[in-house]
């Protein structure tokens, strides 16, 4: 099996894989290169996807043909005819295609579409380059344009040639198909054509997560659909399909530009004649056609019964490969890839449902995702997404449903869509589709060949195939999309209710069934003893390094210690914090200690306020507190503050009390002050979450005491016989933990039992 190396990690992967099995990078897509140390950014590139550019180019080219298609006598094209076969899909999906097919008036300066060889060369060059592409939507017959261009070519008149299903030689292979084959899987850039993206999405859909499988339908080994094969052979003088009495969306031939005789290779796609053509005999024997890699075994259609409506055999039914029953489609499309055979089978099966007498209507098609927002009912959402002014989208949506809009209006809408796709930044000047009057009916050029109408039934059955192809290209199924189970919300409500009931019950019965906290840990005990040993009225620095969310826990943990210290030693307090809310939280902390109520600002305590710079600020403060904080929270000079008398360095403080919920902040204060604290006692009051990570600092002697969360706070409160709420809330806290443990145990048992039961019954484990 051929293998290729992943461009990111170098892992060898099978050639047909789209993604690396180790790192998940796309194997065949050239991602934007990671920037080197000094590189110039790539020049501005258009954002319009390649397929849209092709459509724009195509619309320019068919402008000359548009006039011919207007008018009441215009015959319905395949789009219109096929739309009648599927009423349930609504009109709007095909609007974009309708606009493309109806074309527009020729604009000044439109270039003559180049020959297929030129277009092939340009197409390959355009897809191979990543940078420096410019918009050339108006002067290049793009992939779609060439394909549709050939749809206007007449079928060969020779019944014998028309009866053979296939083409004669490889030169009649459509250029765009040849181009795409040549590119295969290996080519592609991030900006490659929509076919590349479409192909990747198809590959992902087909194979799923484990194996992304073969490239999409446009890889090297693809085989052509039958309808395309027969159309490529080309014929002339076919009978025109019956004209539709109702004006409907233009046929796809409207898209094809070009003048008579420009494209001489064999025809494919949809072809039409103006003059009635003799009925083309259906194949009576099984024949094998071969064209390139295409090989088909085609059976003659089953004979019609009397009850069946007579079908128009003037043209082969290119949607079903010349067959007129769904059963034959199964045999016909055996060699096709799954995506195409499924589509064709579905389209063939629709024959049973469709009626030949149904009026032709615009058949909806799948829109690109970004075009989805242009639908009338999505106009508001689009405005939100694209930040559009309120007027534009609604005006556009109204235009979408108007079947009598001129081709020029549709061309304008195409330009509007292109500008949407390019992501115009100036939302206020977002372009709106200009309103223009309907142009005069187009005058047919005497040089142009007579338009050959395509069989209505043929077009009706084949366009769904096209729609499905295009729709699948726009809807790439994501690989990993976890689904939010519906039972999550009730589960959450249940857990919340249980917690609320337990905590509320304990709050109401706080005096009953007290829970005895464990004795204070050794670090907490040591902290209390050391703080009790400092001198009276000595300076004490309190660092409040916690978030308001944990204020409750830390206040309950710190208040017993603080209360005991303030009551015994009445130290001078200095408050500081590296968080913006820290200074005010420090004030709040003091308010919880009754002994601090006699402290006066500026005399007994000073709030130095916010210390910016994170670790840098801590380092600066540790080296020179007054230099780092020259003014306090009241914008008074720190050096003149009475609580900071005779304090010039960190070592002049008797004790440092760090209240924190972050192990990183604790580490920063500990490490930055190492060697600068002198004999000052450093005690850390930490939340239960951070305490285990600060424990090693106590064990290594870098800190002198550690109070771990509410448990130590309640224990200290008991030991110091101080007032506080730690013990009261400890009951609620511990019951909450018990409840949580019980819920987790129950859920774990339940899930494990379900998994075992599933395995025993042979089902998938787990949910």
Partner 1 sequence: MVRVALALVAGGAGLVVLLGYFLPELRAAQALLLRWGMILASAAVLVGILNLASVHLGKLRHREKNAPYSAVLIASLAATFVLGLLLKPGHPVLAAIINAIVVPAEGTFMALLSISLLSAGVRLLQRRLDLMSILFVASAIAVLLSSARVPSIETPIVDSAAVSWLTDVFSLSGARGILLGVSLGAIATGLRVLLGADRPYGDG
Partner 2 sequence: MQILAALIAGAALLVGLAVWHRKRPAGLRRLRAWTSLNRAVDDAAGSGERLHLALGAGNLLHPEGAAGLTGLAVLRRLAARTARSRNATVATSGDAALHLLAVDSLRAGYGDAGVQEVFQPGTGRLAGIGAFPYAAGALPMLMDENVSIAVLAGRFGPEAALLSEAAERSDALVVGATDDLTGQAVTFASASESAIGEELFAAGAYLGQGPWHTASLTLQDTLRWLVVLFLLAGAAARLLGWAWLG
Is 135 a binding residue for partner 2 by CB under 8 A? The answer is no
Angle CA 604–607–608, to nearest 5: 130
Q: Which residues contact 169 (CB under 8 A, 6 or more apart)?
A: 291
Nearest Cα neighbor of 418 from 50, 26, 38, 39 is 50
The interface with partner 2 within residues 424-483 (CB under 8 A) comprises 425, 474-483
The interface with partner 1 within residues 132-171 (CB under 8 A) comprises none
Is 49 a binding residue for partner 2 by CB under 8 A? The answer is yes
Alpha-carbon gap, residue 170 to 702, rounded angstroms: 83
25 binds, among partner 1, partner 2, none (CB under 5 to 8 A by kind): partner 2
Is 737 a binding residue for partner 2 by CB under 8 A? The answer is no
- CB of 424 vs partner 1, minimal distance in Å: 16
How many other CB atoms sit within 10 Å of the CB of residue 70? 22
579 binds, among partner 1, partner 2, none (CB under 5 to 8 A by kind): partner 2
Which residue in 281, 391, 434, 614 binds partner 2 (CB under 8 A)? 614
Alpha-carbon gap, residue 595 to 285, rounded angstroms: 107
Which residue in 170, 436, 737, 763 binds partner 1 (CB under 8 A)? 737
Q: Which residues contact 336 (CB under 8 A, 6 or more apart)?
A: 223, 225, 344
Binding mask 184-203 for partner 2 (x = CB under 8 A): ------xx-----x--xx--
- CB of 628 vs partner 1, minimal distance in Å: 8
How many other CB atoms sit within 10 Å of the CB of residue 610? 17
201 binds, among partner 1, partner 2, none (CB under 5 to 8 A by kind): partner 2
Q: Near partner 1 by CB under 8 A, which window of 97-105, 280-288, 412-420, 508-516?
A: 508-516
The interface with partner 1 within residues 668-697 (CB under 8 A) comprises 688, 692-693, 695-696
- CB of 67 vs partner 2, minimal distance in Å: 34
| SS3 sequence of 674-742 | CCCCCCCEEEEEECCCCHHHHHHHHHCCCCCEEEEHHHHHHHHHHHHCCCCCHHHHHHHHHHHHHHHHH
Nearest Cα neighbor of 344 from 357, 331, 360 is 331
748 binds, among partner 2, partner 1, none (CB under 5 to 8 A by kind): partner 1
Which residue in 16, 17, 26, 336 binds partner 2 (CB under 8 A)? 26
Is 43 a binding residue for partner 1 by CB under 8 A? The answer is no
If the CB atoms of residues 359 and 692 are measured against partner 2, the closer one turns out to be 692
3-class DSSP state of 243: coil
10 binds, among partner 1, partner 2, none (CB under 5 to 8 A by kind): partner 2
Phi, psi of 737 (to 5 degrees): -65, -40
Nearest Cα neighbor of 229 from 311, 293, 299 is 293
The tokens of 143 are what? 């992939």
Alpha-carbon gap, residue 530 to 340, rounded angstroms: 81
Q: Which residues pair with 288 in a beta bridge?
A: 297
Is 548 a binding residue for partner 1 by CB under 8 A? The answer is yes
Is 748 a binding residue for partner 1 by CB under 8 A? The answer is yes
Is 752 a binding residue for partner 1 by CB under 8 A? The answer is yes
Q: Near partner 2 by CB under 8 A, which window of 26-34, 65-73, 99-107, 112-120?
A: 26-34
The interface with partner 1 within residues 598-657 (CB under 8 A) comprises 601, 607, 609-610, 612-614, 616-617, 619-620, 623, 633-635
The interface with partner 1 within residues 375-414 (CB under 8 A) comprises 384, 387
Is 23 a binding residue for partner 2 by CB under 8 A? The answer is yes
The interface with partner 2 within residues 550-569 (CB under 8 A) comprises none
| SS3 sequence of 11-62 | CEEECCCCECCCCCCECCCCCCCCCCCCCCCCCCCCCCCHHHHHHHHHHHHC
Stretch (H or E) spanning 751: helix 726-760
If the CB atoms of residues 19 and 698 are measured against partner 2, the closer one turns out to be 19
Alpha-carbon gap, residue 267 to 156, rounded angstroms: 8
Which residue in 221, 385, 402, 627 binds partner 2 (CB under 8 A)? 385
584 binds, among partner 2, partner 1, none (CB under 5 to 8 A by kind): partner 1
- CB of 474 vs partner 2, minimal distance in Å: 8
């Amino acid at each position: 099996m051929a293998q290729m190396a992943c461009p990111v990690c170098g892992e060898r992967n099978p050639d047909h894989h789209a993604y690396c099995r180790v790192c998940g990078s796309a194997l065949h897509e050239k991602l934007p290169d990671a920037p080197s140390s000094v590189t110039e950014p790539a020049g501005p590139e258009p954002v319009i996807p390649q397929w849209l550019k092709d459509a724009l180019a195509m619309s320019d080219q068919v402008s000359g043909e548009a006039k011919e298609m207007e008018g009441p006598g215009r015959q319905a094209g395949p789009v219109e005819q096929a739309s009648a076969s599927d009423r349930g899909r609504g009109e709007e999906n095909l609007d974009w295609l309708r606009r493309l097919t109806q074309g527009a008036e020729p604009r000044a300066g439109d270039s003559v579409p180049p020959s297929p060889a030129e277009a092939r060369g340009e197409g390959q060059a355009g897809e191979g380059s990543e940078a420096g592409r410019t918009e050339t939507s108006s002067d290049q017959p793009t992939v779609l344009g060439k394909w549709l261009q050939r749809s206007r070519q007449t079928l060969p008149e020779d019944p014998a040639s028309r009866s053979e299903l296939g083409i004669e030689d490889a030169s009649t292979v459509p250029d765009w198909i040849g181009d795409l084959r040549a590119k295969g899987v290996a080519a592609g850039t991030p900006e490659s054509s929509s076919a590349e993206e479409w192909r990747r999405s198809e590959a992902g859909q087909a194979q799923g997560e484990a194996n992304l499988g073969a490239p999409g339908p446009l890889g090297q080994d693809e085989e052509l659909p039958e309808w395309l094969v027969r159309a490529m052979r080309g014929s002339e003088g076919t009978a025109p399909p019956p004209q539709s009495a109702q004006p409907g969306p233009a046929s796809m031939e409207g898209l094809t530009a070009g003048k008579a005789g420009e494209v001489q290779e064999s025809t494919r796609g949809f072809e039409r004649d103006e003059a009635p053509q003799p009925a083309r005999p259906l194949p009576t024997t099984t024949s094998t056609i071969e064209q390139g890699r295409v090989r088909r075994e085609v059976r003659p259609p089953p004979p019609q019964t009397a009850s069946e409506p007579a079908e128009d055999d003037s043209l082969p039914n290119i949607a079903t490969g010349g067959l007129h029953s769904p059963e034959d489609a199964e045999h016909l499309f055996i060699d096709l890839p799954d995506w195409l055979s499924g589509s064709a089978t579905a389209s063939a099966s629709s024959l049973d449902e469709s009626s030949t007498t149904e009026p032709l209507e615009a058949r909806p098609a799948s829109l690109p995702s970004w075009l989805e927002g242009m639908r009338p009912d999505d106009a508001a959402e689009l405005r939100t997404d694209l930040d559009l002014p309120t007027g534009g989208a609604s005006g556009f949506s109204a235009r979408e449903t108007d079947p009598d809009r001129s081709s020029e209006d549709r061309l304008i809408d195409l330009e509007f869509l292109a500008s949407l796709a390019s992501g115009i930044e100036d939302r206020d000047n977002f372009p709106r589709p200009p309103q223009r009057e309907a142009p005069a009916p187009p005058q047919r050029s005497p040089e142009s060949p007579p338009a050959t109408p395509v069989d209505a039934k043929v077009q009706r059955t084949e366009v769904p195939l096209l729609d499905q192809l295009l729709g699948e290209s726009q809807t790439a199924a994501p690989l990993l999309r976890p689904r939010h189970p519906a039972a999550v919300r009730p589960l959450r409500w249940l857990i919340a209710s249980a917690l609320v009931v337990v905590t509320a019950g304990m709050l109401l019965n706080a005096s009953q069934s007290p829970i005895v906290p464990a004795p204070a840990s050794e670090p907490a005990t040591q902290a209390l003893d050391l703080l009790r040993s400092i001198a009276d009225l000595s300076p004490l620095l309190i660092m409040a390094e916690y978030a308001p969310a944990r204020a409750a826990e830390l206040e309950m943990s710190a208040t017993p210690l603080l209360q005991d210290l303030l009551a015994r030693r009445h130290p001078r307090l200095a408050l500081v914090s590296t968080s913006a809310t820290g200074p005010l939280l420090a004030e709040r902390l003091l308010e919880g200690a009754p002994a601090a109520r006699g402290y006066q600002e500026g005399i007994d305590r000073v709030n130095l306020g916010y210390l910016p710079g994170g670790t840098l600020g801590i380092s600066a403060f540790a080296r020179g507190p007054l230099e780092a904080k020259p003014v306090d929270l009241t914008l008074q000079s720190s050096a003149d503050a009475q609580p900071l008398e005779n304090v010039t360095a960190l070592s002049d403080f008797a004790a440092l009390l760090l209240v924190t919920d972050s192990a990183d902040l604790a580490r920063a204060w500990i490490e930055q002050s190492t060697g600068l604290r002198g004999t000052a006692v450093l005690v850390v009051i930490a939340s239960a979450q951070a305490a285990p990570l600060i424990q090693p600092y106590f064990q290594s002697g870098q800190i002198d005491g550690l109070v771990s969360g509410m448990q130590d706070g309640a224990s200290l409160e008991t030991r110091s016989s101080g007032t506080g709420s730690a013990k009261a809330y400890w009951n609620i806290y511990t019951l909450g933990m018990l409840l949580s443990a019980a819920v987790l145990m129950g859920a774990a048992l339940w899930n494990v039992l379900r998994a075992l039961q599933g395995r025993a019954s042979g089902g998938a484990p787990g949910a």
